[in-house]
Amino acid sequence: MKSNKLALLAFAALVGAGSLISSCKKDDVKNQTPTPPPTKMTLYDTLGGTTMVADPASPGKMIEKGRLAIRGVVDSSIFVIAGDPKMQPYFTKLLAEVGAGNLTGFAALSESFTTFVATATGAKNFTYTGMNMKDAHDPAKNGRMAQKADAADFDIFVGDIVIGAKKNGVPDEIIGRLGTILNSVKGDVVQK
């Protein structure tokens, strides 16, 4: 009789444990979060994304790898633009020498344009706070624009960016993606 009771208890324990294990398994399946589909890498991610690296231009400071790569392209492009007389009317501050203690045109443009491109390529930690491209290139809304830009000038500008990117060793595939992004604002920039 006693052994029957023990056998019954053992059986009940086995069934109970079995049901607990099986229910746990079911719960695991139920609670398992579905694996998110792989997100498409942005151009910013391709260029290094948010990985922090030492900033060669600012000793002791860190910078996102994606931003550093974009700044390299932007800085090279600014050199090209500064040497291009056709772009001179649009970037006069670049070569206007300032006194010590003032922000130079190069530093200001490098910072602003890097932020603009970084944001456009998918950076999440920066915000471009300037005017939208349409208003920024409309002399009626932006007094700093002496004249409306035409398609030829825009193409020269993009060409200078490409030269700068090539000087910086950026692969053609990435230059193509960058060109697509720049051309996406052509309709807003070209107003003549």
Interface residues with another protein (CB under 8 A)? 55, 57-58, 61, 63, 71, 75, 78-80, 82-85, 88-113, 116, 130-131, 133, 136-137, 142-147, 167
Q: Which is nearer to another protein, 19 or 50 (CB)?
A: 50
Q: Which is nearer to another protein, 147 or 184 (CB)?
A: 147
Please give the C-alpha separations between residue 101 and each of 91, 104, 165, in angstroms, as whole numbers: 21, 9, 30
State the minimum distance, in angstroms, from the CB of residue 26 to another protein.
53
Contact 147, 68 (CB under 8 A): no
Q: Which is nearer to another protein, 23 or 92 (CB)?
A: 92
State the minimum distance, in angstroms, from the CB of residue 188 to another protein.
11
Q: Which is nearer to another protein, 79 or 177 (CB)?
A: 79
Q: Report the distance separating Cα 145 and Cα 191, nearest Å.
A: 12
Residue ranges of E strands in 42-186: 52-54, 62-64
State the minimum distance, in angstroms, from the CB of residue 98 to another protein.
7
CA 172 from centre of chain: 18
Q: Which is nearer to another protein, 43 or 189 (CB)?
A: 189
State the minimum distance, in angstroms, from the CB of residue 189 to another protein.
9
State the minimum distance, in angstroms, from the CB of residue 25 to another protein.
54
- Rounded (10°) CA dihedral 24, 28, 30, 35: -170
Q: Report the distance separating Cα 149 and Cα 145, nearest Å.
A: 9
Task: Report helix, strand and coil shares of the chain as percent, to nearest 5.
Answer: 60, 5, 40
DSSP state of 142: -
- Residue 73 has, within 13 A of its CA and on its CB side, a CA count of 29
State the minimum distance, in angstroms, from the CB of residue 42 to another protein.
21
Residue with tokens 């059986």: 11
Q: Which is nearer to another protein, 43 or 67 (CB)?
A: 67
